Structure 1
């Protein structure tokens, strides 16, 4: 079934109110990170980072927390900028972590693929970013702030967007392997560890982040589900942080409904594919469907509209 849609740009003489929760990742899990292996370790640094005092009597043993999950920089070429990562050890054991950086790519579904350690992406930020401590020891109930600094040279490559991923991987000392009594074999064990991935995005002030377009808008269905499909593309030279949502209007009853919004990050030149599922109890009838893309402009929204029949 083919649906024709009308693509338009809305000039906003009003303020668009979009309710969004602060989450560790984009809502609806639109952006995800593929599991990665810890990178090679280097020598521990001195305890130079700022310490945040925590009353050990308030430890809840919920685990380790890392914040924020996304860092956004607006550093000008030839300048430096520092932001801070906080690691909190809410456990009764000492925890050790190694901080490393790697470049990555995003596919059309928003899944991140980390490049092999040492390999640089064309738009990679790893060559210009450092942590003021790469080995972090946390006592029970302790938290630390680690400075993450971008040092941009005044070169042509620094005048465009760049990105990378920071990994905070737990390190655990290997236990001594004890040979069996017979001496014929040595018992081997698995050391469980975990880590965190933090997205880092850099948009220099000269970049244009208001050039994200809707390239496809249609309606598909099968025996069990109905979807509005939206494709968007970043035709600018900056990283776009967008909100996309769909509104339904029943042409017979006038009833209106907004489907759950999606927050996405879209890199320069990249396309993203988004599917919005209809509620299972959507009544049959004719509907006007509008897809709205808010890419951060103070005056414009990108929108597309079509009419469909739900049977």
Structure 2
């Protein structure tokens, strides 16, 4: 991930720790600028809303937060120009079976720290303040090894109330793990039987999450009456979820 003049790798830290276990991964922060830079690491909570947008919250305030379990070997690092520094990120899971009954997640924020001089600089002192210039986020996922259930349900497929060329496909993750989903429309001309497979959309959904995907009927689709099948794929080993509707292209 590159934001301004910083590169952070990886952008996702996935843990599979059991109760009472500690696990550590490495974040590599690279300063791509021509000056020494200092960076501060902090934690926060977040969710995805029904449109897939991220919503951010203070750490340890959401139901599935694991922010309290995450620590750094150094929350502030200084990196020379064109150099990299590693940060050890450790996740400590409480020795409590309730802590591993479900998937949890958090966000690591990395922002640069700018050193500024104050009025007392004339006296030979330097006043340091933190000024946020840019901030990037690293996803942290904790999925216990016993949490494996994958399941999803297609809820509805209805025409958008504003744009008649859009259809709103709604699904819910009824399983216990995050799902990497794909959804697509398959149209069948009721007169000729011709089948048209439209482009699929990919998206992630947290456990318990509801997602609404807007699927567009291309203007290139010929006029006529069609049956329409919204197909949801979320795991190669699980059956497809589908929901049927119909429409007329005029």
Quickly say closer, same or farther: Cα 1:221–1:129, change in 2 above 3 A. same
Is residue 147 of structure 2 the alignment partner of residue 195 of structure 1? no
The equivalences for 1:1-311 within 5 A come to 63-117=5-59, 119-155=60-96, 156-177=98-119, 193-220=133-160, 222=162, 225-251=164-190, 252=192, 254-264=194-204, 266-311=205-250
Q: CA RMSD in A?
A: 2.5
Question: What are the superposed Cα offsets for residues 223-277 of structure 1, whole Å, 9 maximum, x if unpaired?
Answer: x65112111112223333322233334443725232241222x222221111112
Secondary structure, counterpart of 2:160 in structure 1: strand
CA contact (8 A) 1:209 1:240 kept: no
Instruction: Select the structure that is richer in strand.
Output: 2
CA contact (8 A) 2:38 2:113 kept: yes
User: In terms of mean alpha carbon deviation, does 194-203 or 267-276 score higher?
Assistant: 267-276
How far apart in 1 are the matches of 2:149 and 2:219?
A: 36
How far apart in 2 are the matches of 1:290 and 1:84?
A: 44
RCO higher in structure (CA 8 A, sep ≥6): 1
TM-score, structure 1 length as denominator? 0.68
Question: What are the superposed Cα offsets for residues 135-164 of structure 1, whole Å, 9 maximum, x if unpaired?
Answer: 121111112232222111231122211111
Quickly say closer, same or farther: Cα 1:124–1:288, change in 2 above 3 A. same
Runs of 5+ unmatched residues, structure 1: 1-23, 25-61, 179-189
Quickly say closer, same or farther: Cα 1:242–1:256, change in 2 above 3 A. same
Secondary structure, counterpart of 2:155 in structure 1: strand
Secondary structure, counterpart of 1:236 in structure 2: coil
How far the C-alpha of 1:221 sits from its partner, in A, is 6.0
How far apart in 1 are the matches of 2:85 and 2:218?
A: 44
How far apart in 2 are the matches of 1:106 and 1:278?
A: 26
CA contact (8 A) 1:217 1:304 kept: yes
Quickly say closer, same or farther: Cα 1:82–1:250, change in 2 above 3 A. farther
CA contact (8 A) 2:160 2:167 kept: yes
